[in-house]
Every structure is written in C-alpha cells, then in structure tokens.
Structure 1
Amino acid sequence: MSKGKGKIGKIISFFVILIILLLVAAVFFADHLTKVGVETTATQAIGTQTTLNKADLSFMGGSLTLEELQIANPPGYETKNFLDMTRCFTNVNIPSLLSDTITVETIKLEGLTLMVEQKGLSSNLKEILDNIQKKNSTPAEKPEPEKTGGKKLLVKRIEITDACARVKLLPIPGKDTGLVDIKLAPIVLEDISNDRNQAEMAVTVVQKVLLALAGAVVEQGGNVLPADLQNALNGSIKGVQQLIGGTAGAMVEEAGKVLGEGQKTIEKTGEELKKALELPGNLLKPKEKKEDESK
C-alpha cells in the first residue's frame, strides 16, 4: 500500500511541476509576443520605429501592462523620439481571447510626452500624419475579402492622462522661443470598434490615439503655435480623419502575422494545460480487463 501511495505521490508531483512549467512558459512567451506585437503594430501604424521596454500579461488578472514605449522621429529631426510613454494599462476580457471577438474593456495611457519639432513650414507631427494618410489611401494590390475575417477586436474605452507636448519652434530674431510645454487635458475615446480583424483594429487604435493627441495639441496650443503651423496641422488632421475609417490595407500584414502567432500560442497553451490537468486522473483510473480475461 505504501509503495502504491508513493507512486501516486510521484505522479501527482510530476504533473504539478509540469503545470507550473507550462504556466511559466505561457507567461514568458505571451509577454514576449505581446512586446513584439505592440512594437510591430505601432511601427506599421505610424511609420517610424517603435520600441517597448516591457510587456506584462496577467492571465489571472485579465490585464496587460506596457512600460516605457518610445516612438522614433522621422529622419531629419534633432530630437531622437517623437513620443515617449511611461505606462499603459489594459483591462482585457481573458475568456474573449478564445472567442471570435477579443474585448478590451479599457486602455489607460499615462505619462505621454509628445515632442513637436518645427522644420520650415512643416513639422515631425505633420510628417507622421501625412505618412498615415498616404498609407491609408494606398489601396491594396489584390483585395481579398476573406483575409478580413477571423478574430475581431473591440475596444470600449481609451483614457489618456498626464500628457504634454513639448514644442520646439523655429528661432525668431529678437525672441527666445526655445522649448514650449503644452499641458494636455485628459482625453477619452469610446467605442472604438468595427467589423475588422484584430490586426486592422490594432493599427486603427494606434492611429486614433495619435490623431486625438494631434488634435489636442492644435486646440490647446493656440496661443503657442504659429498660425501657419496650426493651419498645416489642421489640414493633415482632417485628411487622416477622412481616411481613418477605411481599411488599413497592406499596412497591417506584418502586424496581423505577429498577433496571429500570439493568439495561437495562447490557444495552444490552454490546450496543453487542459491535457496536463486530465492526465493524472486518467493514469490513476483502474485498467479495464479484457473481455476474454474476465471469463
């Protein structure tokens, strides 16, 4: 009897360790794929290199935390980064990750610093907005409606707090312009959803956040920004607004691949955990005797 109990104990211990290892692997790969997915999506959406220091996905808590995100400036500007973000907290409906529609309850962006640098009659912000407009207005070579199927993404609410814009204007003779800080009021976006796949919606979310920030800079920086710079930015903002509802086209292809790999990893991990939980019970079941042996 003691040998039997010892054997059962070893089997249970083995599967407990296996489950722990699977959970650790799930967290590691999910965090890594999330980090890569965020960097790829933002880079595809905006057109300049995006880096993320850390992504922390909590399966049990249904949350995703991103820390220290940086979006680089287009070439030709003095400052290295166009945008720096301290933290992003996302409340995800975890069961929805395995459903047809992934539901994000809230996205909270904190500590955003937008560096607006004027160059001639243009600026880095205008250049990025024009790049978004160009990418969205470029039709895909071969539209394939079937590719827009699959997982959908629903974002219920986005909150942007503690954001500011640092504006670097052109020097004016006899006037010290330097850097001008514009404190941005909190921004709330609601019901960002559409009948699109998760890659297209992820790109759209990034673009709408940037569009909201650009609008806030122009609106709240009226006493700081030169009239020609305001007019140029307003023109670019309106251009993006007209196109943002359209399909993102080929721009989301790479983002879609990364998000798809992340989805497969989550689903595969769930299946492996389910199998691991079932195995100990199956091994401990008494074996059925063959029919001819019972006679």
Structure 2
Amino acid sequence: MKKLRKMLSIVLSATVILIVIAALAVRLFANSALGVAIESAATKALNVGVSVSEVDLSILRGRLGIRNLVINNPPGYQHDTLLELREGQVTVEARSLLSDVVNMKDITLDGVNVVLEQRGISGNNLQDIIKELPAKEKQTSGPAGKKLHIDSLEVTNIKVNVKLLPVPGKMDTLTLKLAPIKMTNLGGQDDLDTIALSRKLLLAIAGGIAEKGAGLLPDEMLGSLVSELGKLGALPDILMETGGKLLEAGTGVGKGATEAGKSIGEGVIKGAEDVGKGITEGLKSLLKKKEKED
C-alpha cells in the first residue's frame, strides 16, 4: 500500500510538472509568435524595419504588453532609428479577437524617444516615412485584415532629439518635450487598420513637433513640416488658430507675419501649396506677442 501511494505521488508530481512546463512553453511560444507578427505587421505598415524585444500576452485578462519597440530610419540617414518605445499596454475585449473588428478599450504608450534627423534644407526622416504611408491598407484578393476600434489612446513622455545640419556657430542638436497625445473613439466612424493607426500616431507626433518647434527649428524645415501636415489635414489646432489669427490680424502683426498668415491659411484650405519660410516668421511673431501678453 505504501509503495502504491508513493508511486501515485510520483506520478501526480510528474504530471503537474509536465503541465506547468507545457503551459510555460505554450505561453513562451505564443509570446514569441506574437512578437514576430507585430514586427511583420509594423514593418509592412511603415515600409521600414521594426523590432520588439518583449511581448507579454494574457488572453484571459485581455491584456497585451510590449517593451522596447524600435522603428528604423529610412535608407540614407546617419542614425539607425527613428523612434523607440519603452513600454506599451493594450487592453482588448478578448471575444472580439475572433471577429472582424477588434475592440480595444485602451492603449497606453509610455516613453517615446524620437530622433528627427534633417536631410537637405527642408527634408527629414519623419516626413519621408509619413509621405509613403497610404491612408489605409490596400485591398487584396485574399481575406480582408481585421479592423480596429479603440476607445482611448494615450501617448506620454514623448522626447524628440532633433539632429540638424552642422552650421558653424549654431547648435546641431536640440531636444523637444512634447505634450501627451490623447485620442478617443478611433475607428468609430471610419475603418481603422494597422496602417491607418500608424499614420495617425506619426502625424500626431509630427504635429507636436511643429507646435513645439516654432522659433526653434530651422525655418525651411519647420515650413516644410507644417506644409506636409496641412496637405494631410493634420495640423494641430493651435497652428490652425495661428493661421486664422494671422489672416485676421493684417498689419497688426507686421507685413512679414501677414504674409505668413496668408501662407498658412492657404496651406490649410488648399492643402497643396508650399507654406515656406513665412510660416515660421508668423509663428514667431504671434508667440512673442502672446508671451508679452502673458
């Protein structure tokens, strides 16, 4: 009897150990496979290499964690990376994973480091990627990809290191700290896929750079960025308001600012013209005026 009990105990212990090992193996394999899928989808969406060092999926809790995601630069730039994300958390409605529309309750991205590298007089790496992004995935003969619906998305602790062309007597590096980005009800009205979501995020970051970079970034670089955002209908509200105020102000802010206001206004309305150097001068004038009033 004692031998039988001992044997049963050994068998049960071995079974439990095997179950634990199998569960761990399945989880590790699932996380690894998911990491590869994320890298593949993001690389396809952005047309540049994307890597992620750690993925943690809990299907029962409906949570996905991502750490150390890196987006590479397009070819031709000195620095290897465009963006690094320290940590991301996604809460998803588990049942929706089997449906055509995946419902995400919230996405939080914390610790975003961007390297904005200037190339030529007005070009930069972020603009190069944005220009290549379609509004959404191209339709193929295969099964349609899943659509996304996101209740809330927030990006915090965004730092931008701007690498400028070397000019004697001037700094070639500056740092911008952007305000948090908050979006709600994404995909509520229009179809949202991974490409469209990537586009929204990069445009929001570019808009934050344009807002914070007024008076700091080179005129041609800022003007080109604002012009591109205007074409895509993605200018931040403060720049939209700036364009309107400058148009209304007329000679109240000086001839140069008036011309800048006209350029911004036309860039916003037509969305196809080069805003040029006058934008930055107008922004500087308005910001200086606002500082004096404050």
Alignment correspondent of 2:176: 182
Question: 1:147/1:224 Cα in 2 relative to 1: closer, same or farther (>3 Å)?
Answer: same
8 Å contact kept, 1:194–1:201: no
1:53 aligns with 2:59: no
SS at match of 2:61: coil
Q: TM-score, normalised by structure 1?
A: 0.68
**By how many angstroms is 1:23 displaced?**
2.9
Shift of 1:39: 1.1
Q: Which amino acid aligns with 1:222?
A: A
Please tell me whether the aligned partners of residues 45 and 195 of structure 2 are also in contact (alpha carbons under 8 angstroms).
Answer: yes
Name the CA distance, whole Å, in 1 between partners of 2:32 and 2:189: 28
Unaligned runs of 5+ in 2: 235-294
Q: Could you tell me how far apart the structure 2 residues matched to 1:182 and 1:236 are?
A: 20
Q: Per the alignment, do residues 81 and 196 of structure 1 end up closer, same or farther by CA in structure 2, a change over 3 Å counting?
A: same
Asked if 1:156 is matched to 2:157, the reply is no
Distance 1:82 1:156 in 2: 27
Instruction: Give the C-alpha shift of residue 14 in structure 1.
Output: 7.5
CA distance in 2, matches of 1:96, 1:186: 28
Q: Distance in 1 between matches of 2:114 and 2:29?
A: 31
Residue in structure 2 matching 1:213, options 205, 216, 233: 205
Deviation for aligned residue 1:42: 1.7
Decide whether aligned partners of structure 1 residues 38 and 178 sit closer, same or farther in structure 2, where only a CA change above 3 A counts.
Answer: same
Tell me the equivalent position of 2:163.
168
Aligned-partner Cα distance in 1 for 2:84–2:71: 7
Percent identity at matched positions? 30
Contact 1:89 1:108 in 2 (8 A): yes
Q: Deviations over 1:95-120 (max 9, x none)?
A: 33244532211111111011111111
Q: Distance in 2 between matches of 1:68 and 1:139?
A: 29
Change in Cα spacing, 1:16 to 1:33, as seen in structure 2 (3 Å) is same
Q: What displacement does 1:233 show?
A: 1.5
Does structure 2 retain, via aligned residues, the 8 Å contact 1:148–1:196? Answer: no
Over aligned residue pairs, what C-alpha RMSD do you find?
3.1
For residues 113-145 of structure 1, the C-alpha deviation after alignment (integer angstroms, 9 at most, x for no partner) is 11111111211111111111xx449965xx54x
How many residues align? The count is 233
Q: 2:221 aligns with which of 215, 229, 236?
A: 229
| Structure 1, unaligned runs of 5 or more | 243-295
- SS of 1:78's partner is coil
AA partner of residue 49 (structure 2):
Q
CA contact (8 A) 1:158 1:188 kept: yes
Instruction: Map 1:126-165; keep pairs closer than 5 Å.
Output: 126-132=127-133, 135-136=134-135, 144=141, 147-148=143-144, 151-165=146-160
CA distance in 2, matches of 1:101, 1:137: 15
Tell me the CA shift for residue 29 of structure 1.
2.4
Counterpart CA distance in 2 for 1:28 and 1:6 is 33
Q: CA deviation at 1:50?
A: 0.7
Deviates most, 13-22 or 86-95? 13-22
CA 1:13/1:98 → structure 2, altered by over 3 Å: closer, same or farther? Answer: farther
1:84: Cα distance to partner? 1.0
Cα distance in 1 for partners of 2:151, 2:69 equals 22
Deviation track 1:36-75 (CA, whole Å, cap 9, x = no partner) reads 1221122122111111111111234321111111111111
The 2-side partners of 1:241 and 1:39 are apart by 29
Q: Is the 8 A contact 1:153 1:196 kept in 2?
A: no
Q: Give, in whole Å, the separation in 2 of the partners of 1:152 and 1:131.
A: 21
**TM-score, scaled relative to structure 2:** 0.68
Residue 21 and residue 157 in structure 1: after superposition, are their counterparts in 2 closer, same or farther (change >3 A)? same
Write the distance in 2 (CA, Å) between the matches of 1:55 and 1:34: 7
Residue 42 (1) aligns with residue 36 (2): no
* Distance verdict in 2 for CA 1:209–1:178, change over 3 Å: same
Render the CA deviation track for 1:178-233: whole Å, top value 9, x for unaligned: 21100000110111126888xx6122222211111111111121121122212211
